[in-house]
Amino acid sequence: MLIVMKFGGTSVANAERIFNVANRIVDSYRKGNKLIVVLSAQGDTTDELIEKANEINPDASKRELDMLLSTGEQQSVALMAMALQKLGVPAVSLNAQQCGIFSTSTHSNARIKNIATERISKELDAKNIVVITGFQGVDRNDDITTLGRGGSDTSAVALAAKLNADLCEIYTDVDGVYTSDPRIVKSARKLSVIGYDEMLELASLGAKVLHNRSVELAKKYNVNLVVRSSLTNDEGTIVKEESALEKMLVNGVAVDKDVARIAVCNLKDEPGIAFAIFSILAKNKVSVDIILQSIGRKNTKDISFTVAAGDLNEALKILEENKQRLGYSEILHDEEVAKVSIVGGGMATNAGVAASMFEALYNEGINIKMISTSEIKISVLVSEKDADRAANAVHEKFIFNEK
Ligand code: ASP
Ligand code: MG
């Protein structure tokens, strides 16, 4: 089998862990597999490099930052190849330039465009384990780029897709994808399988096990993906295309406390107002999540919406600057809110899921401030102080009893 094995920064943080991982790789190699190993930078290396850059020049150009950050992954792959050689197996490390991982030129957030396979195939044919830097690419000017924080997952999935690998294993410090954050919901448990779409929703809701774009890519190219622990032999979670029959009603309950709500009051009730508000925000790169508009009364209406807590001040400033043009009477905001969401592929074909969720919240005496739904997700906005209780109640209702 051709397998891509990706290890995150904590899994290769020091010499002991590098050898622990190397032994795993050797086991798989001795079973006769052809292996591509993709690595992140050791431990907190990427953060430390960013700090170093800030000491020198807080406004450093993104090109130079990428040049610097890419060295973290380069250290990991060289060290891993040395460890593998020490264990008596042939290995070679390659960076993005050497194996031809071509990307766009958007420094710090580049996208992989294509991967040349000649060098990798040559090394695999020579029975080498090929250890490749995650997180980096090279653009058409031969400049080094990086793919965005957490981007090594995407490197691994892209390699698996391009080389038609039988399997892409993402090794991390948790043992799979959970139904909720175990620190908040005690009864959270590991999922054995989850669909690409559900995983994408969970990833964008803040379940940080997989880089968003890696899941998008895996779905697009139907890559067999497994998320598992680098420290245990547990089976982990398989991420794949699920048939309608396999789909769980609810796979996961997510809690996001980094949200804020803004209400723009007494706007004119006429065409173009929503467009004006959200286009100004979009132009300033503030993304908006749940939106609610009140019914018009006496020719006015209110529009409220949520933004990431970090964007609150920016959003308020922009709205204030455009007060004349938008013609509202006042703006209210609330930071003490949290978003609780359920995600599940089975929802699309089952009526009454929303009602059951609201019932669970009602039983806990929790007030709902806003609601938004999609085919496979329902989100509610509640008081931040109620968030953990809400997550537990909803988890209990949908997941705890299901098996
Ligand atoms: N080392 C990079 C980061 O810390 C990429 C990764 O770990 O996936 O974001
Ligand atoms: Mg990661």
pLDDT digits (tens, 9 = 90+) for 111-151: 999 999 999 999 999 999 999 999 999 999 999 999 999 99
pLDDT at 403: 47
Check if the beta carbon of residue 369 is closer than 8 Å to that of residue 382: yes
Q: For residue 297, is pLDDT > 50?
A: yes
Distance CA 102, CA 121 (A): 17
Q: Give the Cα-Cα-Cα angle 87, 89, 94 (nearest 5 degrees).
A: 110
Sign of the Cα torsion 384, 389, 391, 397 reads negative
Q: What burial letters (b/e) apply to 386-398, b meaning 16+ CB within 10 Å? A: bbbbbbbbbbbbb
For a mutational test of ligand 1's pocket, the pick from 47, 135, 153, 171, i.e. the residue with the most ligand atoms closer than 8 A to its C-beta, is: 135
For residue 43 and ligand 1, the question of a CB distance below 6 A is answered with: no
For residue 70 and ligand 1, the question of a CB distance below 6 A is answered with: no
pLDDT at 258: 94
Mean residue pLDDT across the chain: 94
For residue 7 and ligand 1, the question of a CB distance below 6 A is answered with: no
For residue 74 and ligand 1, the question of a CB distance below 6 A is answered with: no
Q: Of ligand 1's atoms, which has the minimum distance to the CA of residue 9? A: 7
For a mutational test of ligand 1's pocket, the pick from 37, 152, 154, i.e. the residue with the most ligand atoms closer than 8 A to its C-beta, is: 152
Distance CA 174, CA 341 (A): 22
Q: Tell me how far apart the terminal alpha carbons of the chain are, to the nearest angstrom.
A: 32
Q: For residue 131, which phi and psi values (nearest 5 degrees)?
A: -105, 115
For residue 46 and ligand 1, the question of a CB distance below 6 A is answered with: yes
Q: Of ligand 1's atoms, which has the minimum distance to the CA of residue 155? A: 8
Q: For residue 208, is pLDDT > 80?
A: no
For residue 150 and ligand 1, the question of a CB distance below 6 A is answered with: yes
What is the Cα 182 distance to its own chain's centre? 18
Q: Of 98, 102, 121, 122, whose CA–CA distance to 112 is shortest? A: 102
Distance CA 64, CA 69 (A): 9
Tokens, residue 226: 């497994």
Q: From the CA of 153, how far away is ligand 2's center (Å)?
A: 7
Q: Of ligand 1's atoms, which has the minimum distance to the CA of residue 152? A: 8
- Which residues, in sequence order, are CB contacts of 263 under 8 Å at separation 6+? 302, 303, 304, 331, 332, 333
Check if the beta carbon of residue 301 is closer than 8 Å to that of residue 341: no
Q: From the CA of 256, how far away is ligand 1's center (Å)?
A: 22
For a mutational test of ligand 1's pocket, the pick from 149, 155, 210, 211, i.e. the residue with the most ligand atoms closer than 8 A to its C-beta, is: 149
pLDDT mean over 386-396: 96
**Residue type at 344?**
G
Distance CA 59, CA 285 (A): 19
Task: List the strands of the sheet with 288-293, edge to edge.
Answer: 288-293, 300-308, 252-268, 330-343, 377-383, 370-374
Residue 235: strand, helix, or coil: coil
* 313-369 confidence digits (pLDDT tens): 999 999 999 999 999 999 999 999 999 999 998 888 888 999 999 999 999 999 999
Nearest bound ligand to the CA of residue 12: 1
More confident residue, 245 or 166: 166
Q: From the CA of 155, how far away is ligand 1's center (Å)?
A: 11
Tokens, residue 7: 């290890």
CA distances from 173 to 52, 214, 259, 321, 357 (A): 26, 18, 27, 46, 31
- Please report the beta strands in 81-166, taking only residues with DSSP state E, as ranges in sequence order: 91-94, 101-103, 112-115, 129-133, 136-138, 144-146
Q: From the CA of 171, how far away is ligand 1's center (Å)?
A: 13
pLDDT mean over 193-220: 90
* 22-56 confidence digits (pLDDT tens): 999 999 999 999 999 999 999 999 999 999 999 99
Which domains, from first to last, does the chain contain? Answer: 2-173 (3.40.1160.10)
* 156-165 confidence digits (pLDDT tens): 999 999 999 9
Per cent of the chain over pLDDT 90 is 88
Give one DSSP letter per residue of 1-43, joined into a string. Answer: -EEEEEE-GGGGSSHHHHHHHHHHHHHHHHTT-EEEEEEPPST
Strand 112-115 vs strand 167-172: parallel, antiparallel, or unpaired? unpaired
For residue 72 and ligand 1, the question of a CB distance below 6 A is answered with: yes
Stated pTM of the model: 0.87
For residue 149 and ligand 1, the question of a CB distance below 6 A is answered with: yes
Whose C-alpha lies nearest to ligand 1, atom 8? 150
Confidence of residue 401 (pLDDT cuts 50, 70, 90): low
Nearest bound ligand to the CA of residue 210: 2
pLDDT at 402: 57
Q: From the CA of 111, how far away is ligand 1's center (Å)?
A: 15
Confidence of residue 222 (pLDDT cuts 50, 70, 90): very high
pLDDT at 351: 83
**Residue type at 200?**
L
Q: Of ligand 1's atoms, which has the minimum distance to the CA of residue 41? A: 1
More confident residue, 246 or 93: 93
For residue 134 and ligand 1, the question of a CB distance below 6 A is answered with: yes
pLDDT mean over 226-249: 90
Tokens, residue 142: 């031969």
